[in-house]
């Protein structure tokens, strides 16, 4: 009897997603390459966004993210998916903004009213933002707050945030260059130049689905809808639009067709707050170890240690040094990987004396 050749083992879902997330396999080379591959990196925690870039590249510094935001203008931060700040390629802003923000207007109007800003005052605030940035921009949130308050518009509490969100939803402003430790606001027209020809919604949904799967596949329509903050029906339409480019699977998940490198689960990775690995799908349970310390709570995502593909411990930076406490004795390869990750984070976050912290 002739023996059958051994069938290659199907990589686990976790291994495939870790590879899609650039957390295994060859690293990306630039800030723009990471951002473009993931399509959108949650960025309400500035250090967390920078650490997301670090985990997916080799040899970069936090200052390289600042340079991409400021000198290169290759990436910007804006309220997009789910009404949350995201780091995106400047070129992707033009189609992601009209696709993911219209449904946020109602909530913004409600929040402004709750903060004591009536519609007329909101309009006045947006006008101040436009004129100030045209005359004096880029400006920080504090500088814009003072100018808006001087015009008699309420800025206390979260009012200033929702006024800035309103100007953002209207396509007027984005967060662009770094000014010290803060990211300043700029007019879209000044920072990004004239807009390209508008993209039709059906084409944008297809592009969204393809780009999402490149950095998150395999995934379901519900995963895509949750991540983008869109109705499931829109996610399905996007996947149908690219159906010819999808791989045939038996598990109900969607992934892009084409040759796939066999992924391996990394021994240890240190990931920052709000890392995309925990924000890319409808459920994050796949990457959370049973009995591990609380990584996510009340909308906050803490820096965590990924051991054999699961978040198993927390880490912090104290006095410029990474401090962590793994939950179990590590193997020799795991100890070596932890030491390498620790040293790389300390290198990445280090800055010349007198410069602003990342």
What's the pLDDT tens digit per position in 162-179?
999 999 999 999 999 999
Inter-residue long-range contacts of 90-98, CB under 8 Å, 24+ positions, other chains counted? 90/192, 92/36, 92/39, 92/40, 92/211, 93/174, 93/188, 93/192, 94/192, 94/195, 94/196, 94/199, 95/199, 95/204, 95/207, 96/39, 96/40, 96/208, 97/171, 98/171, 98/198, 98/199, 98/204
Average pLDDT over residues 260-288: 93
E strand map for the chain: 41-42, 75-79, 85-89, 173-179, 182-187, 268-271, 296-297, 300-301, 304-307, 310-318, 321-324
pLDDT, tens only, 241-268: 999 999 989 899 999 998 767 788 999 9
Average pLDDT over residues 291-313: 95
For residue 316, is pLDDT > 90? Answer: yes
Average pLDDT over residues 326-337: 94
For residue 204, is pLDDT > 60? Answer: yes
Q: What are phi and psi of 239, to 5 degrees?
A: -70, -40
Q: Give the separation between CA 95 and CA 192, rounded to whole angstroms.
A: 13
How, if at all, do strands 85-89 and 304-307 pair?
unpaired
The whole-chain average pLDDT of the chain stands at 94
pLDDT-derived band at 327 (thresholds 50, 70, 90) equals: confident
Q: Which residues pair with 94 in a beta bridge?
A: none
- 3-class DSSP state for residue 173? strand
For residue 314, is pLDDT > 90? Answer: yes
pLDDT-derived band at 355 (thresholds 50, 70, 90) equals: low
pLDDT, tens only, 89-146: 999 999 999 999 999 999 999 999 999 999 999 999 999 999 999 999 899 999 999 9
- pLDDT in the model for residue 354: 45
CA atoms 352, 353, 356, 357: torsion sign: positive
Name the residue ranges covered by the structural domains of the chain: 102-170, 268-349
- pLDDT in the model for residue 357: 54
For residue 196, is pLDDT > 60? Answer: yes
- pLDDT in the model for residue 326: 86
- pLDDT in the model for residue 338: 97
Q: Give the separation between CA 57 and CA 282, rounded to whole angstroms.
A: 26
Q: Give the separation between CA 147 and CA 295, rounded to whole angstroms.
A: 39
pLDDT, tens only, 48-65: 999 999 999 999 999 999
- pLDDT in the model for residue 356: 54
For residue 352, is pLDDT > 70? Answer: no
Q: What does the DSSP assignment read for 237-294?
A: HHHHHTGGGBPP-SSS-B-B-S--------SEEEE-TT-GGGTSSS--GGGB-TT---
């Amino acid at each position: 009897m002739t023996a059958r050749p051994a069938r290659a083992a199907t990589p686990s879902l976790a291994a495939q997603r870790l590879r899609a997330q650039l957390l295994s396999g060859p690293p990306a080379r630039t800030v723009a390459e990471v951002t473009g591959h993931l399509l959108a990196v949650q960025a309400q925690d500035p250090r967390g966004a920078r650490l997301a870039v670090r985990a997916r590249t080799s040899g970069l510094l936090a200052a390289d993210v600042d340079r991409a935001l400021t000198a290169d203008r290759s990436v910007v931060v804006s309220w997009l998916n789910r009404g949350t700040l995201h780091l995106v390629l400047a070129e992707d802003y033009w189609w992601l903004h009209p696709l993911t923000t219209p449904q946020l207007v109602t909530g913004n109007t409600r929040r402004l009213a709750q903060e004591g800003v009536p519609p007329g005052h909101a309009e006045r605030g947006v006008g101040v933002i436009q004129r100030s940035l045209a005359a004096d921009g880029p400006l920080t949130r504090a500088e814009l707050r003072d100018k808006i308050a001087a015009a008699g518009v309420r800025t206390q509490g979260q009012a200033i945030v929702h006024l800035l969100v309103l100007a953002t939803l209207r396509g007027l402003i984005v967060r662009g260059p770094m000014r010290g430790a803060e990211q300043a606001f700029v007019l879209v027209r000044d920072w990004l130049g004239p807009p390209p020809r508008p993209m039709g919604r059906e084409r944008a949904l297809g592009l969204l689905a393809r780009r999402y799967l490149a950095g998150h596949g395999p995934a379901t329509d519900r995963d895509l809808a949750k991540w983008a903050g869109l109705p499931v029906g829109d996610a399905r339409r996007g996947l149908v639009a690219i159906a010819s480019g999808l791989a045939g699977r038996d598990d109900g998940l969607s992934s892009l067709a084409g040759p796939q490198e066999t992924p391996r689960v990394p021994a240890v990775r240190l990931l920052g707050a709000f890392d995309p690995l925990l924000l890319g799908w409808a459920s994050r349970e796949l990457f959370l170890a049973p009995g591990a310390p609380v990584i996510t709570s009340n909308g906050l995502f803490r820096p965590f240690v990924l051991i054999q593909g699961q978040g198993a411990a927390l880490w912090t930076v104290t006095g410029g040094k990474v401090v962590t406490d793994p939950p179990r004795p590590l193997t020799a390869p795991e100890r070596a990987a932890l030491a390498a990750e620790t040293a790389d984070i300390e290198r990445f976050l280090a800055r010349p004396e007198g410069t602003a912290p990342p």
